[in-house]
Amino acid sequence: MSNERPWLKHYPEGVPQDIDIDQYASVAAVLEEAFERFSERPAFASFGKQLTYGQIDRMSQQFAGYLTGVLKLTKGDRIAIMMPNTLQYPVALFGALRAGLIVVNTNPMYTARELKHQLEDSGAKAIVVLDNFAATLQQVVADTEVKHIVTTGLGDLLGIKGVLINFVVKNIKKMVPAFHLPQAVRFKDALARGAAHPLIRPELGHGDIAFLQYTGGTTGVAKGAMLTHGNMVANMLQAGAWIGSNMKYGQEVVITALPLYHIFSLTANGLVFMRLGGLSWLITNPRDMPAFVKELKASRFTALTGVNTLFNGLLNTPGFSELDFSRLHLSLGGGMAVQRAVAERWKKVTGCTLVEAYGLTETSPAACINPLDLKDYNGSIGLPIPSTDAAIWSEDNQPLPIGEVGELMIHGPQVMKGYWQRPDETAKVLGSDGWLHTGDIARMDENGYVYIVDRKKDMILVSGFNVYPNEVEDAVMQHPGVAEVAAIGIPDEHSGEVVKIFVVRKDPNLTEEELKQFCRENLTGYKRPKLIEFRDSLPKSNVGKILRRELRDEKKVAAAAKA
């Protein structure tokens, strides 16, 4: 590990250089401490219903009892959870972890092909699925090792209101395609049956796997990152130490709009804020921005985590700027680059700096975070967090001097054990010395702040010059008539590649020539987009990350058709 850690001199006051991972043996130990300490406080809220830490404790014990006492699942068995943000999610999640099972977080929007791969690859024996997505499961379940299915309706833990919500979702909005899974048990029945079986706590240690978190679908077959209890405990303590000085135990209300099956939301909102005794306000469908703004109005929120597109979407939603932001003291952006234009507008509207953080599924996820007392957006992903080393390496795996551009490498207790049953893929990214190849091109300044330049595979090569899409997109977003933008490289016989941008307009009258002139004023010649295409929307991942890859693939298909 590197001995030079320039970032330590710039740590916020009260943040330790290292954390003590031995404070907790497992994620379950962290949860049980929170259940006991904050039993009367609200833990999760959804559709106006709140569940206390004590209630989550009791129900997750019942679910654990069902898994081990009724289904006879044992430590190390895999269970898939396929739900958006509902109150059932933390109950199922915490119950599975307390029972010593390995949680396979599953995107509810998966196609049958994607779901089959994940269930087959993980060897999951059980799955909890929201009714809305059970028809997809029905198509593939016979080809997997899944023997136990628990189904649930959106409103199942919402009391009387939930009965109405379930009726509307199924019969009026027609959001539940017909499915036939005769072996399935209803979630509430599982809790009732589990109540007769006491929680038997398996012995869990840092080396035991807590999650198979699937990633890398953009580079081919999705791989399951093995995140151990040690990895997750470390990252909870690391991120908790970083944000803890800014938080009041038992008094925070964090808006959870990113799905809990995504690693950023899982660790930050699902676990770090649990340890702080916070209330996690679940947003089931953040794409419905007007409804999202209504939820914000009702919640008296103090913290909000999200991706750039989420912050941008809120800023462009009527009524958002009129909300009361007086309690908001943490706005944390991760999952993709935060754009300067969005960050500056966020600060202007809310009065709260949008702090950028950086992480990967493979790092549980937090690796770098900006100081929370940052006055303004600085374009950096921040400083390596406690017990974390970061370095910039050349293509031949040699450390580079401060200021030079190369691949960002991460080392720390939050780095995954490897990819599930894929030693070949693990060896490509994880050295025997524990250093992780992130695949991100970055530089570090003399103070230890890290700046992402781009993803390796997204880089555009124009006449031998490297063009980083992030830089082009950042510049284009400064134009007031632009709502969203994505930049890719297009083959060109003269320069190898040229830059093409896809733009969603904020101003319907924005013209191609006007935008090109703006780029001429703000970008060097070879970085300027030669092609501009206006669109109504851009392809996005399940958490709102713009998918440049899909735009590139479209162009390849079109080019092949012409050939």
User: What is the pLDDT, as a whole number, of residue 454?
Assistant: 77
106, two tokens = 């599953």
> Taking 70 as the threshold, does the pLDDT of residue 218 lie above it?
no
| Sheet architecture: strand order including 148-152 | 185-186, 148-152, 126-130, 78-82, 102-105, 209-215, 223-228, 418-419
Percent of the chain with pLDDT over 70: 98
pLDDT average, residue stretch 37-49: 97
Query: Which three-class secondary structure state does DSSP give residue 331?
Result: strand
Summary mean pLDDT of the chain: 94
Please, which pLDDT band fits residue 271 given cuts at 50, 70 and 90? very high
What's the pLDDT tens digit per position in 309-326?
A: 899 999 999 999 999 999
Please, which pLDDT band fits residue 415 given cuts at 50, 70 and 90? very high
User: Residue 499, Cα to own-chain centre: how many angstroms?
Assistant: 29
User: What is the pLDDT, as a whole number, of residue 30?
Assistant: 98
Domain spans in the chain, listed from the N-terminal domain onward: 459-562
User: Residue 95, Cα to own-chain centre: how many angstroms?
Assistant: 21
- What's the per-residue H, E or C state across 457-525? HHCEEECCEEECHHHHHHHHHCCCCEEEEEEEEEEECCCEEEEEEEEEECCCCCCHHHHHHHHHHHCCH
What's the pLDDT tens digit per position in 158-183?
A: 999 999 999 999 999 999 999 999 99
Please, which pLDDT band fits residue 112 given cuts at 50, 70 and 90? confident
User: What is the pLDDT, as a whole number, of residue 35?
Assistant: 98
pLDDT average, residue stretch 295-317: 94
Angle at 455 between CA 412 and CA 259, to 5 degrees: 70
> Taking 70 as the threshold, does the pLDDT of residue 220 lie above it?
no
What's the pLDDT tens digit per position in 430-445?
A: 999 999 999 999 999 9
User: What is the pLDDT, as a whole number, of residue 216?
Assistant: 60
> Taking 70 as the threshold, does the pLDDT of residue 144 lie above it?
yes
Separation of alpha carbons 203 and 227, rounded Å: 17
User: What is the pLDDT, as a whole number, of residue 392?
Assistant: 97
Separation of alpha carbons 39 and 320, rounded Å: 33
User: What is the pLDDT, as a whole number, of residue 523?
Assistant: 85
532, two tokens = 């501009």
pLDDT average, residue stretch 295-319: 95
pLDDT average, residue stretch 368-378: 93
Least confident of 1-5, 145-149, 482-486: 1-5
Which range of 330-339, 468-477, 487-496, 512-521 scores highest in mean pLDDT? It is 512-521
User: What is the pLDDT, as a whole number, of residue 457?
Assistant: 75
Alpha-carbon Rg for the chain, nearest whole angstrom, is 23
Interhelix angle for 308-315 vs 289-299, to 10°?
90
CATH number of 459-562: 3.30.300.30
pTM of the model: 0.86
> Taking 50 as the threshold, does the pLDDT of residue 219 lie above it?
no
pLDDT average, residue stretch 1-12: 82
